[in-house]
Amino acid sequence: MCRTSTFAALVAAAALALLPGCGGPPPKANRPVQIEYWEKWTGFEGDAMRATVDAFNASQKRIHVNLLTVSQIDQKLLLACAGGNPPDVAGLWSYNVNVYADKGAIIPLDRYLAKAGIAEDQYIPVFWGICKYRGKVWALPSTPASTALHWNKELFREAGLDPNRPPRTIEELDAYSEKLTKRDASGKIIQMGFMPSEPGWWNWSWGYFFGGTLWDGKSKITANCPENIRAYKWVASYAKRYGAQQLQLFRSGFGNFSSPQNAFLSGKVAMEIQGVWMHNFIEKYAPNLKWGAAPFPHPADRPDLANTSITESDVLVIPTGSKHPNEAFEFIKFVNSQRGAELLNMGQRKFTALKRVSPEFLAKHPNPYIRTFIALAKGRNAYATPQLGIWTEYRDEMNAAFDDIWLGRRTPEEALGQVQARMQKKLDRELRRMHRLGRSL
């Protein structure tokens, strides 16, 4: 059974009534153990995991995995744990790991890993790191990703730029952007070289590209450190140079991300930070686009920041209260084998979290820049989201600060100073709570 709390007691009945059951009668002597697996993916991503599940089921006769697609899985899994009726294995995002661990909603995997011979040195460090918290491993990666600068080669050529030579420094990025920006006769922006606000998924992260951090890993929030201030002054420079209102008007004309009207796919924005998955959308919505991917630029005076990349990974966990944790781990182990990891990640057109990859995987991978994304993930400047229980609040505060800076409502010093004050109070409160529970971050 999961650990309960006041919240858990209140939602237990609702969880039991609303969520799909994961139990069932004990398996018969000649039937495999049935384990229930909740996952969030749909479309081709869901198909890739279903093929992986089918491969596992066909590989042996002792265990059979039943895959169920669940929306809002991070919320529903907590409800299921509170109600004592969780699935046997579940797929979450890496930034859920520490939150679930602190709530006692997932079990550590260390004893399973030791028995299976699975160790840290088999993994790309950043992805092992996101699964480890408070000295224990709580998850294993399923589909990792890293980010890079994507650029439109045709627009480069039209602007008189070498289409095969992306900007390498922030200063070059700014100069390229100026050449790639177009206005109509009325002065209205019709094409931008680069926009820090596009696609807007990592507005909280710009400090990393300038050497900043968001906390010291112990007890101090660092939202307004000098490197972060510098990063968001750079963000503000775009709004000042091109006009915040003009940029907002231009951005209002963008279509949905998953459509041919996507700003990058339609040629409205020539350069954009995006993840390894972007190839999938290019292939589907703009198959004739001539594009490239390279490390995001670094400040010219900080060559040590070359190859900075924000990384993320989906992960597999065993919820507390799983009826078949041993069998659940057997499935997780398969997904983290070279065979399972390459099958899944080829299906999703990503790369595996394992250091070793088969030559066939690289040779057959449809993303022509897959080696670039792997190298970025392996680099010393690969970063993941901070392992903080208050991370979602912190992220929202940073995103709000970005908007204020972008629209000229506050200076970077003011906006980040406000984030610093608010989040330090919340972190202090979180640390006191953890101390009462006899835990440390």
Summarize pLDDT for 314-328 with one digit per residue, the tens.
Answer: 999 999 999 999 999
Residue 12 has a pLDDT of: 44
Q: Assess if residue 439 is contained within a domain.
A: no
Q: Are residues 119 and 10 in the same domain?
A: yes
Q: Are residues 279 and 351 in the same domain?
A: no
pLDDT over 70 (residue 9): no
pLDDT, tens digit, 9 for 90 and up, residues 153-172: 999 999 999 999 999 999 99
- Binned at pLDDT 50, 70 and 90, residue 30 comes out as confident
pLDDT, tens digit, 9 for 90 and up, residues 366-399: 999 999 999 999 999 999 999 998 999 999 999 9
| Helix H or strand E encompassing 100 | helix 97-102
pLDDT over 80 (residue 20): no
Write down which residue in 378, 398, 413 finishes a domain: 378
For residue 325, give its domain range.
6-138+318-378
The percentage of the chain sitting over the pLDDT mark of 70, rounded to a whole number, equals: 93
Q: Where are the alpha helices (H) located in 294-411, listed in sequence order? A: 325-335, 338-347, 359-364, 370-378, 391-406
Q: What's the number of domains the chain is made of?
A: 2
Q: Assess if residue 355 is contained within a domain.
A: yes
pLDDT, tens digit, 9 for 90 and up, residues 278-305: 999 999 999 999 999 999 999 999 999 9
Q: Are residues 202 and 159 in the same domain?
A: yes
Cβ contacts of 63 within 8 Å, gap of 6 or more: 32, 33, 35, 56, 57, 324, 327, 330, 331
Q: Are residues 25 and 100 in the same domain?
A: yes
Structure tokens at 205: 């992260």
Q: How far apart are CA 279 and CA 274, in angstroms?
A: 10
pLDDT over 60 (residue 354): yes
Strands 140-152 and 271-275: antiparallel
- Binned at pLDDT 50, 70 and 90, residue 26 comes out as low
Q: Assess if residue 1 is contained within a domain.
A: no
Q: How far apart are CA 230 and CA 232, in angstroms?
A: 6
- Binned at pLDDT 50, 70 and 90, residue 29 comes out as low
Q: Are residues 415 and 335 in the same domain?
A: no
Structure tokens at 425: 């109070």
Q: How far apart are CA 323 and CA 187, in angstroms?
A: 64
Can you tell me the mean pLDDT for 53-72?
97
Q: Assess if residue 65 is contained within a domain.
A: yes
Q: Are residues 131 and 159 in the same domain?
A: no
Q: Assess if residue 406 is contained within a domain.
A: yes
Q: How far apart are CA 146 and CA 130, in angstroms?
A: 13
pTM: 0.91
CATH number, position 83: 3.40.190.10
C-alpha dihedral, 378 to 379 to 381 to 382, nearest 10°: -10
Longest dimension (CA), the chain: 78
pLDDT over 90 (residue 437): no
Q: Are residues 302 and 347 in the same domain?
A: no
Q: How far apart are CA 430 and CA 98, in angstroms?
A: 13
Residue 6 has a pLDDT of: 41
Mean pLDDT (the chain) is: 93
- Binned at pLDDT 50, 70 and 90, residue 435 comes out as confident
Q: Are residues 215 and 89 in the same domain?
A: no
Q: Are residues 167 and 73 in the same domain?
A: no
Can you tell me the mean pLDDT for 179-189?
96
C-alpha dihedral, 341 to 377 to 197 to 165, nearest 10°: -110
